[in-house]
Amino acid sequence: MPEATASFDHQAVGVDVGGTKILAGIVDAYGAVQRQVRVATPVGSVTALADAVAGAVSQLTDRPSAVGVAVAGRVSGRVMTQSANLNLVDAHLVDALEARIAGECILLNDADAALVAEHAFGNATTADDVFMLTVGTGIGGSHIVAGRLMTGAHGGANEVGHMTVKPGGRQCGCGGLGCLDQYGSGRALARYARSFRRREDGSEPIAHDLAHAAASGEPYALAAFDKLGRWLGLGLADVVALLDPEVVVLAGGVATAGDVFESAVRRHLNAELSVRGVHYGPELVRARLGNEAGMVGAAEVAREHVRNMTVAQREPVA
């Protein structure tokens, strides 16, 4: 085995490009972050973005074998086709990065990268078919089958936040009406909490405060989580109908509320499945890797890429 590959198997470079910050790190084969750097995300320019990512990577290593780059946007092959957070459309990011970095770059969506990390090192290591439901300010989804990310023909698969759960319902940011995002997201949870408190003071209770309030038995907080769980249970029952995943990982800022969130989702998912005559369902687990999941997953994808390339190169030529 070539020396460079042997060392790369041990350490890989992953980058997580978020709306405000870029996190780049060297990650070992056990998913532990050895070194990391953080820089601000330039928004609206693919050139400036590629400069910033390459600059962050160069602080870690001169010659990466490959770099996994997770972005807050839709990805199709070497192109980030759409990102509201980064204010870019059809950004040829891999071309721009490979002009600046002495190594191959692999681009993927950040939620997909987080699922790769959970599947490799987190709470979903034993399952073959894993769906991740990310509930933060908005709602996201990712799906791995037999170790392979299922991203769809155009990189648009698993957009559970934009499934219609209430035809003609609330206007969604995507342009549609009645998307799950409008009823099952952190924004919706805050709305429910305010409504149950019967006050409109404009403050946005965050999940931790609400989780604390729910743990203290505050009726408004318990009711808010229950209502959120009802919509997410409905959405997840549709996910089960379509994909029948073995495990569903609950991730995102709202999921960090813990038991109160998880039990509400489980209760309503089970009730909805029962109504539909479905007597099986996924195991629900919590995400374990937190804010570093995107970077760790991106590094793991880079490591896998190099490993596969090496195996392919070793195949005897007929």
Binding region for Zn ion (CB under 5 A)? 162, 172, 174, 176, 179
Strands 74-76 and 79-83: antiparallel
Q: In what order do the strands lie in the sheet with 247-251?
A: 148-149, 139-145, 129-135, 247-251, 283-286
Burial of 202 (C-beta count, 10 Å sphere; 0-12/13-18/19+) = exposed
Q: Residues 161, 132: contact at Cβ < 8 Å?
A: no
CB of 181 to Zn ion, least distance (A): 5
Q: What's the closest the beta carbon of residue 246 comes to Zn ion, in angstroms?
A: 27
Residue (175 or 217) nearer to Zn ion, CB: 175
- For the record, the structure tokens of 4 come out as 């460079």
Nearer to Zn ion, 147 or 173 (CB): 173
Cα 186 to Cα 205: distance, rounded to the nearest angstrom: 10
Considering the complex, state which of residue 166 and residue 197 has its C-beta at the smaller distance from Zn ion: 166
DSSP category for residue 34: E
> By C-beta, is 140 or 205 nearer to Zn ion?
140
Shortest approach of Zn ion to residue 18 CB, angstroms?
Answer: 21
Distance CA 159, CA 242 (A): 13
CA dist list (Å): 89 to 92, 116, 137, 141, 303: 9, 25, 22, 21, 28
Q: Is 153 exposed, middle or buried (0-12, 13-18, 19+ CB in 10 A)?
A: exposed
Q: In the bound complex, what is the minimum distance in angstroms from residue 140's beta carbon to Zn ion? A: 12
CB of residue 136 to Zn ion, shortest distance in Å: 15
Tell me how far, at minimum, the Cβ of 185 lies from Zn ion, in Å.
Answer: 10
- Beta carbon nearer to Zn ion, 175 or 277: 175
Q: State the sign of the Cα–Cα–Cα–Cα dihedral 181, 183, 189, 190.
A: positive
> Closer to Zn ion at the Cβ: 130 or 172?
172
Closest contact distance (angstroms) between CB of 173 and Zn ion is 6
| Residue whose C-alpha is closest to residue 131's, from 260, 240, 214 | 240
Select 171 or 291, whichever has its Cβ closest to Zn ion: 171
Residue 159: CB minimum distance to Zn ion, A: 8
Nearer to Zn ion, 169 or 258 (CB): 169
Closest by alpha carbon to 180, among 190, 167, 194? 167
